[in-house]
Amino acid sequence: MMPVAMPDLAKRDLVSIEDLSTAEILELFHHADEFRANLGDWSDLCRGAIMATLFFEPSTRTRLSFESAMLRLGGGVITAADEKNTSRSKGESLADTVRVVGGSYADILVVRHPEDGAARVAARYARVPVVNGGDGAHEHPTQTLCDLYTLWKEKGRLEGLEVVLCGDLRYSRTIHSFCYALARFGANIVTMPYPGFELPDYVLHRLRRNFGVQTAAASVADLPGIAGSSNAAAYLTASTPHQLALFTNLTNVEVNRIDAIYMTRAQRERHSGESTANYPRLSRTTLDAAAAKDARIMHPLPRVDEIDYDIDDDPRSIYFRQAELGVPMRMALMAFLLGRIQLRAARPAALSTSPGIVAGAGLRCRNERCITNNEGVRYLVRDFRLCESETPPVLACAYCEREVEARFVGDAASRSFHRYSAAEARQVRGEQRVYFESEAQALAAGFSPGVEGA
């Protein structure tokens, strides 16, 4: 196995939406406004720079808007848009591809890949900035930038907005990045999942840990059309920047005003045969509801059947605008990551690239779609970060963020292990500590049961 490439902290990647601070995002909006005012005026800004788009999954908008953005900035574009025509089809790893392409071939990479956590791998192995163009069901941070930018322009603010997320919340990577950002900006989220496609627990836990998000049952009775598809609406609100006092009685929330409804298609390519009969669909009836009077209808596109074509002309339907604003937004991001514009705002305090705990032979990510359980089996060292130091501690995969409980702790020097307890863990020096989820996992890794209390 190759050692985990240590992140180059001098370059900035965008793997998660949390790799940009709130103030940086707002500053990028202002740059996007400037670019948008005259898209043709910027062809000197990134002259000489080359962007490579490495797309190992289908894409229309994301790839083409990145390429258009780069060409409008005066840079060049090289692309691998069909994995059948790349060495991936011969078995080349993503790590090798980005090591080759990032550098003399290209100054920045945009990567889309079907495996959760792939963007982190690309960022670790490439010498140049990497932008996540969507990695499996994990995140899609640049779609979120476009979504936030569009909503911010429509509503003049993000704080305090009531945003309904609807459809396949489980596998939509756009939803995951979007809800982290909404919580950070102080918007409230109403989830209306298609039954069985709720937000994953690890997303909810991260919302709770990072933003103090509280969850309550929601009633969106006055929302015909989509309300009927789900009886499990939930209201998510972050503790900051709201005043906590407002939400001390958050037991059941009646949502009477909706600022945006964000619809997503069923992510069929990530399903394992689950039925999506009666998937929600937005129609004129939904828009006619009193609560939706000032709502904006959003969708990352492509649309399949989730939004009736006959509401496309309603001024509240802004999904094509989201796609259009993708170009100036991505121009701003590219110019920033290539160092052609500087932001005054500070970067996030903890970048998601900060090194985690190398659990080595210990834990295995429980997410079967994680890159560490797929192509990465050949070369990635598993890497987890501690997110809750309770007993047992909770660790998250540093690639796809899926959580595991470390119920056992071992000592890499003596190769013995114990059921986790704070006392047992203290006996083992930090860098020698190896976590396991189960006894079987520890035994399989060649560790022997230690004498309790020894």
83 or 222: whose CB is closer to ligand NCD? 83
- CA pair distance 302, 294, nearest whole angstrom: 24
Closest distance between ligand NCD and the C-beta of residue 265, in Å? 5
CB-wise, 143 or 237, nearer to ligand NCD? 143
State which residue, 113 or 265, has the beta carbon closest to ligand NCD.
Answer: 265
Strand ranges across the sheet with 108-113: 76-80, 50-55, 108-113, 130-135
Residue from 16, 53, 62, 191 in contact with ligand NCD (CB under 6 A): 62
Q: Which residue is nearest to ligand NCD (CB)?
A: 300
Residues 259-278, interacting with ligand NCD (CB under 6 A)? 264-265
- DSSP characters over 329-389: HHHHHHHHHTTSS--SSPPPSS-TTS--B--TTS---S-TTBGGGTGGGGTPPP-EEEEE-
Measure the N-to-C terminal CA separation of the chain; round to a whole number of Å: 33
Site string for ligand NCD, 296-315 (x = CB under 6 A): ----xxx-------------
- Rounded to whole angstroms, how far apart are CA atoms 409 and 120? 26
CB of 274 to ligand NCD, least distance (A): 16
Which letter, b or e, does each residue of 247-272 get, where b requires 16 or more Cβ atoms within 10 Å of its Cβ?
A: beeeeebebeebbbbbbbbbbeebee
Residue 82, SS3 per DSSP: coil
| Angle at alpha carbon of residue 64, lines to 63 and 69, rounded to 5° | 100
Number of amino acids touching ligand NCD (CB under 6 A): 12
Judged by CB under 6 A, does residue 167 bind ligand NCD? no
Which residues fall within 8 angstroms of residue 144, CB to CB, at 6 or more apart? 17, 174, 177, 178, 180, 181
Contact flag: residue 382 with ligand NCD (CB under 6 A)? no
Q: Whole-number minimum distance, CB 144 to ligand NCD, in Å? A: 10
- Based on CB atoms, which residue is closest to ligand NCD, 140 or 170? 140
- Out of 75, 102, 134, 225, which residue is the one contacting ligand NCD (CB under 6 A)? 134
418 binds ligand NCD (CB under 6 A): no
Among 138, 173, 184, 433, binds ligand NCD (CB under 6 A): 173
* Chain mean position to CA 277: 27
61 binds ligand NCD (CB under 6 A): yes
Whichever of 140 and 382 has its CB closer to ligand NCD, that residue is 140
Residues that bind ligand NCD (CB under 6 A): 61-62, 134, 140, 143, 173-174, 264-265, 300-302
